[in-house]
Amino acid sequence: MSHRGNSMGSKALAYTFLDRKFLKYRPLHVAMLAAGLVGAAASSHAADAVNLGNIEVQSDVRSGGLMVNEEAPKSRSTVTGEALKQKPGSNNAVQTLNTMPGVHVTTSDAAGMADANFTMRGFNSDQIGFTVDGAPVNDSGNFAIYPTELGDIENLQQIFVTQGSTDTDAPHIGASGGNIGLISVLPTKEFGVFAEQIVGNHNLRKSFARINTGELDVGFGKLRTWLSASHTGEDKWRENNGGGLRANRFEMKSVLSISDGNSLDFTFKYNQQHNYQFSKLSLPQFNAGNVSYTNALIGSNGKPDVNYYKFHQNPFENYLAVLSGKFKLADNLRLTVTPYFWYGDGGGSSGQSGWPAGALQTQSLPNGARTDVFYKISNTTTYRPGVTTTLQTSLGANDISLGYWIERSRQMQTGPFIPVDQSGNPFDAWGKSNALVDKNGNIVQADGRNRYTVSLSQKFFLQDSVVLSDKLSLQAGVSYDRVRRTGDDFGTLAKTGTQDIKASKDYSEVLPSLGLKYQLDQSSHLFYNATHTFRAPQNYTLFDFTALPNGTVVRKADQKPETAWSQELGWRYSTERAALSTTLFYIDFRNRQAQMSDVDGTKFNYNVGQVINKGLELEGSYALTKTVNAYGSYSYTSSVQQENFLNNGTLLPTKGKQFGNIPRQMLSASLGYDDKRFFSTFTGKYTSSVYGDLTNDQKIGGFTLFDLTAGYRFEKRGVMKGATLTLAGLNLFNKQYLASVDSVVPNSVAYGKVAASTPYYVVGGARAVSLTLTADF
């Protein structure tokens, strides 16, 4: 999976327009500003604190923090900070969700430096909304989520998941399949320093430090802040040819308590990474033990090989700033205002044989540059400000929320070609300089990569939670979601010359939701939820057109928004020693969007019609003793296409077939031990086979993976408040497997005039072993 990206200085109109007028702020400037801002108090979730001599540990004797008591009238799962502390700090946030019911997480790198792919109840990751402290972080254009951009898991207090149903007040226009929220840890009232060092195989190294300032009286309130910095790096375990994965991060959170009911909360996250990509393999390639990215620039035919590893990089940087103000306007009236700003810059790259179409072959190149191969990078620069405003009041038994969210996102997507030296090193891996130009001095762009889009998203929402009796409660809500996408396709020399194609499209939907909860007794309750969800088409569907040789542009059919009706019926049971949750779900998914290639290789979106997702999810935990706990989850997901798919005039036999990349069954179980000094968790997860195509003609087998963590907590010594040493083994038995489908194709065998397409798969990460030492001062 490639990141989005970055625009570059240029003589082209599009670049001049953006760089000089609109895209002029730099991450460093914002980071400097962020360091001087403050933030505010929010209520924290924590399990019971246990004090053992000089050690204080947050304890959940039933599951080790993998499961908590949920009260919402919908499916919801939570991973607490306690469980996150037992994960290797190199992991990304999405990896920590893998044991949750309905969640299928895969990655090319078990240590966590490469982006993870995941599905949930048959929905892809780009159909699930993600927030960090209330701010949306999905790509505003195509809704993709890139877990390595989300920051260090050491700074997270909890992660919650609502499977299948999106919250009414969630700031999304691309979440047809539920939402996931990351909540940052709060600053402490006491001064403190937390330090962490990780070492592991494949030359894994991570250094992390966080400083808590403690609570300070600033005259108009009490201020507390933490600041953290980290560096992480490792070599690729596969195709390891000098390329690696590197990340530098700076994060902070401030809390300003002004007066009773009035506070400010500020979060800032900055991430810069430079990764070399893992290749995706076809099933025959994997079975033959092949790799795609090579160590040699020159192939066996004596010409440069575009699969040379230095052509496949992924530089990216991003930052997020969130300021949440909570104000008490009256005894029963509260106002919350949450402005945020997200920035991203970078992209994934590949190789280009020979001069690209339209490039001036007599232009001046850097000394030593080759002319038989070039570095091509797909950059995207995003500027994304937004704000959510919510009024909350209590009227008798009713808790009412009324709010409005607005966001204006701007994206410039480019595809420059950069010269490389005689060893294949690009002169600028970020694609900001030395780009090839045409005879008029305009930067030559890859097809479909010279576009500027603006997405104006809005949501009006109203929600009421009411207690109808001592046993029955109700939560009802409605939102009106609207997005207007406008854009310019400045064209490519290969397809549309210098033609500027303007496009715009409006999408909107009314989204009601209803949740009921019935308390059976003190330990158990039933719940029912019905939610209508919506996802607007991606921004690039504005330009689903074919440009004829005479310059005439023929538009393809407009894409319809995805919509779904999700229904859930569940039962929860909870005591001091045991917790159990079971849920039946039924999702009627309409206008499911899929991306495929046209005859010339150009990417287009197609509507595959109606898909029905239904199934069962179980989750349970039990405290066997005061020190031993067990946790397990099971999921059965049927994701069946309801229509045959029309492709180039031929009906493909897809009706009644399982949608691609959706495992029917997943089973996870873990056994934990914690006596407040020693701790360990052994986890296993089985994932069934998945199909690589809509016609179910090719599939990859299921697999079972095992993970183990074990650690020891040291007593307080001198200025050190405590220390922990943890050994972790992920994919403990080094299973070699294909983890998931990179992109689902219509058919892997020919049907009539429709030629076969080849599915490509993500190769699962090899065993990752790490040793972590942490210390609190």
- Look up tokens 């260090």; give the residue: 152
Strand partners, 284: none
Could you tell me the pTM of the whole model? Answer: 0.88
Q: Is 86 helix (H, G, I), strand (E, B) or coil?
A: coil
Closest CA to 683 of 665, 708, 659: 708
Q: What is the dihedral of CA 654, 657, 659, 660, to 10 degrees?
A: -90
The residue range of the domain holding 541 is 13-776
Residues 630, 623: Cα–Cα separation, whole Å: 6
Q: Is 555 helix (H, G, I), strand (E, B) or coil?
A: strand
Q: Which amino acid is at 15?
A: Y
Residues 6+ apart with CB under 8 A from 28: none
DSSP letter for each residue of 605-655:
EEE---EEEEEEEEEEEEESSSSEEEEEEEEEEEEEE-SPEEETTEEES-T
- What's the alpha-carbon Rg for the chain, to the nearest Å? 26
Q: Is 240 helix (H, G, I), strand (E, B) or coil?
A: coil
Q: Spell out a b/e string for 105-128, using b for 16 or more CB atoms within 10 Å of the CB, else e.
A: bbbbbbbbbbbbbbbbbbbbbbbb
Q: What Å distances lie between residue 506 and 539, 545, 671, CA to CA?
A: 11, 18, 51
Q: Is 332 helix (H, G, I), strand (E, B) or coil?
A: coil
The answer to whether the beta carbons of residues 681 and 728 sit under 8 Å apart is: no
Residues 6+ apart with CB under 8 A from 699: 689, 690, 691, 692
Question: What is the torsional sign of CA 494, 495, 498, 501?
Answer: negative
User: Quick one: which H or E segment has residue 30?
Assistant: helix 27-34
Phi and psi, residue 13, nearest 5°: -55, -45
Within a 13 Å sphere around the CA of 521, how many CA atoms are in the beta-carbon half?
4
Phi and psi, residue 638, nearest 5°: -105, 120
**Is 524 buried (19+), middle (13-18) or exposed (0-12) by CB count in 10 A?**
middle
pLDDT of residue 554: 54
Q: State the pairing for strand pair 178-184/129-132.
A: parallel
In a domain, 323, yes or no: yes
Residues 574, 579: Cα–Cα separation, whole Å: 4
In a domain, 694, yes or no: yes
CA 498 to chain centre: 35
Residues 764, 741: Cα–Cα separation, whole Å: 11
In a domain, 593, yes or no: yes
Strand partners, 50: 57
Percentages helix, strand, coil for the chain (3-state, rounded to 5) are 5, 55, 40
Which CATH number is 339's domain given?
2.40.170.20
CA 269 to chain centre: 15
Residues 188, 412: Cα–Cα separation, whole Å: 40
In a domain, 6, yes or no: no
**Is 486 buried (19+), middle (13-18) or exposed (0-12) by CB count in 10 A?**
middle
Tokens of 421: 């030296």
Query: Could you tell me how many residues make up the chain?
Result: 777
Strand partners, 562: 535
CB atoms within 10 A of CB 506: 11
Q: What is the tally of structural domains in the chain?
A: 1
pLDDT of residue 362: 87
Residues 587, 506: Cα–Cα separation, whole Å: 25
Residues 318, 273: Cα–Cα separation, whole Å: 9
Residues 126, 145: Cα–Cα separation, whole Å: 6
In a domain, 2, yes or no: no
Q: State the pairing for strand pair 262-276/628-641.
A: unpaired
Q: Spell out a b/e string for 1-18, using b for 16 or more CB atoms within 10 Å of the CB, else e.
A: bbbbbbbbebebebbeeb
pLDDT of residue 406: 97
Residues 564, 708: Cα–Cα separation, whole Å: 38
Long-range pairs for 463-470: beta carbons < 8 A, 24 or more residues apart? 463/168, 463/169, 463/400, 463/401, 464/398, 464/399, 464/400, 464/401, 465/398, 465/399, 465/400, 466/397, 466/398, 466/399, 467/397, 468/397, 470/519
Q: What is the dihedral of CA 258, 259, 260, 266, to 10 degrees?
A: 0
In a domain, 335, yes or no: yes
pLDDT of residue 167: 87
Q: Which residues of the chain have pLDDT under 50?
A: 1-2, 5-59, 494-497, 548-549, 597-603
Q: Is 272 helix (H, G, I), strand (E, B) or coil?
A: strand
Within a 13 Å sphere around the CA of 8, how many CA atoms are in the beta-carbon half?
28
The answer to whether the beta carbons of residues 351 and 375 sit under 8 Å apart is: yes
The answer to whether the beta carbons of residues 62 and 595 sit under 8 Å apart is: no
Q: What Å distances lie between residue 23 and 3, 344, 409, 486, 504, CA to CA?
A: 19, 11, 12, 17, 21
Q: What is the dihedral of CA 611, 613, 614, 615, to 10 degrees?
A: 140
In a domain, 8, yes or no: no
CA 555 to chain centre: 31
In a domain, 3, yes or no: no
The answer to whether the beta carbons of residues 426 and 420 sit under 8 Å apart is: yes
